[in-house]
Amino acid sequence: MTSRQRLWFFAVAAAGLVACYLWAFAGLPGFGHYPGPYGQVILNEAVKQTNATGVVSAVNFEYRGFDTVGEEFILFTAAAGMSVVLRKLRGERAHRPADETGSAAAARPDQAGSAIRIPALLLVGPTALIGWWLASHAQANPSGGFQGGVILASAFILIYLSGEFLTFRRLSPVALLDAVEAVGAAGFAAIGLAAVAQGFPYLYNFLPLGQTPGAVSSSGTIALISFFVGLEVAAAFVLIVGELLEQSLLRQRSA
């Protein structure tokens, strides 16, 4: 099939797709007139039932906790799958890794200058702190394990971006990252099983709910689950970036 035929075929198919979409959207009650009772019920009951003022996190880790376990394991599997797919093929050898600072930098004039390196290194600490804060305050504010985990991972990635590749590798050994990711994923599943061990359904909120809604120690398992999710997401992203960086060191022997 030539590319013009391909385009015509696509045009016809896209027209059919758009027609079906518009037919489906015609059945929806317009933008802004959300009718569904589920959302309203949760908005009315969530703060009373879980003492968490961040209703989205309460939905994520309590009311729809089972979906979140599934999503987290998708993340876990993607990171593990990358390690499997990006294995060394036959005939590949690894370069020696080198920092992009110091004497190596003098030999390569196209470096990230100090204007990039120094702010990046300065921002590592605050970024890690912000990521940690976000991951552990899911029940109060717009925060949560997923966002906090990505920001925590980007703190590690900032170390690489500032040219300190060897430091990045030393601070994020694959064994440690694997262990942290496993602890995060298993922690979430274990909290659910701990509820089962006490005779409740899986992922039931069995920890004490605290006094003030939205305080750090309130909302039972929501804060704990969010913390574990943050660990797992951070480790997964640092693993992913580490895998891709390892690839840049490999070189085909028979190029």
Partner 1 sequence: MTPAALMDTLQVVALLLVGAGATAVVRTRNRVRQVLALSVYGILLAILFLAFQAPDVTLSELTVGAVALPIVLLLAISKVHKRAQPPEPARPARPAQPDRKPER
Partner 2 sequence: MQVVPFLVVAWIVVAGLYGIVTSRDLIHQIICLIVVQSSTYVLLLGVGYVTGGVAPYFYDIPLHTKAVDPVVQALALTDVVVEAAVTALLLSFAIQAHKRFGTLDPHELAEFKG
User: Can you give the binding site for partner 2, defined by CB under 8 A?
Assistant: 3, 6-7, 10, 14, 17-18, 21-22, 25, 28, 30-34, 36, 38-39, 42-44, 46-47, 53-60, 63-64, 67-68, 71, 74-75, 78-79, 81-82, 85-86, 89, 140-142, 144, 146-147, 149-150, 213-214, 233, 236-237, 240, 243-244, 247, 252
**C-alpha 239, offset from chain centre:** 11
Give the residues lining the site for partner 1 (CB under 8 A).
54, 56-57, 107, 134, 142-144, 146-147, 150-151, 153-154, 157, 161, 237, 240-241, 244-245, 247-248, 251-252, 255
Six-digit token string for 163? 């040219």
Using CB distances below 5 to 8 A depending on partner kind, what does residue 39 bind out of partner 2, partner 1, none?
Answer: partner 2
CB of 77 to partner 2, least distance (A): 9
Rounding to the nearest 10 degrees, give the CA dihedral for residues 97, 101, 104, 106: 160
Using CB distances below 5 to 8 A depending on partner kind, what does residue 203 bind out of partner 1, partner 2, none?
Answer: none
Q: Are 150 and 237 in contact (CB under 8 A)?
A: yes
Residue 108 is given by DSSP the state: -
Task: Identify which of residues 81 and 208 has a Cβ nearer to partner 1 in the complex.
Answer: 81
Using CB distances below 5 to 8 A depending on partner kind, what does residue 68 bind out of partner 1, partner 2, none?
Answer: partner 2
Using CB distances below 5 to 8 A depending on partner kind, what does residue 79 bind out of partner 1, partner 2, none?
Answer: partner 2
Separation between Cα atoms, residue 35 and residue 30, nearest integer Å: 10
Separation between Cα atoms, residue 105 and residue 99, nearest integer Å: 8
Task: Identify which of residues 85 and 106 has a Cβ nearer to partner 2 in the complex.
Answer: 85
Six-digit token string for 202? 């899986």
H or E segment and range at residue 117? helix 114-136
Separation between Cα atoms, residue 235 and residue 188, nearest integer Å: 15
